[in-house]
Amino acid sequence: MTMLSMSTHPSDETLSRLADQSELERMRSRAGRHLARCERCRGEIAAIAALGDAARALPEPALPASLRARVDERRQGEGSGVAPRPPMPTGGPAP
């Protein structure tokens, strides 16, 4: 088994893990120390971090069509046995 040389960039997986770590945590690992010296990998981390923020900012994924159909079906089933609600009075005549 050969040692990783400093010229070897950490894998994407390692970089994405480092992206979640603090500066201190990074310095404990070889990849983190590489990062401190490697402009290219710092750029990668910045990109990964930006991606992570973007992913978190995304709204919840829409329900799959099949699941939505099942939910609609159940709603209709529930409605059939129950008496319809009386319409709410929407503001009577003015006093």
Task: Tell the burial category of 21 from Cβ atoms under 10 Å away from its Cβ (0-12, 13-18, 19+).
Answer: middle
Per CB under 5 A, 19 contacts Zn ion: no
Instruction: Say how many C-beta atoms besides its own lie within 10 A of residue 49's C-beta.
Output: 15
Per CB under 5 A, 41 contacts Zn ion: yes
Which residue from 21, 38, 42, 48 is in contact with Zn ion, where contact means CB under 5 A? 38
Closest approach of Zn ion to the CB of residue 61, in Å:
33
Per CB under 5 A, 42 contacts Zn ion: no
Q: Does residue 19 contact residue 42 with C-beta atoms inside 8 Å?
A: no
Residues making contact with Zn ion (CB under 5 A)? 9, 38, 40-41
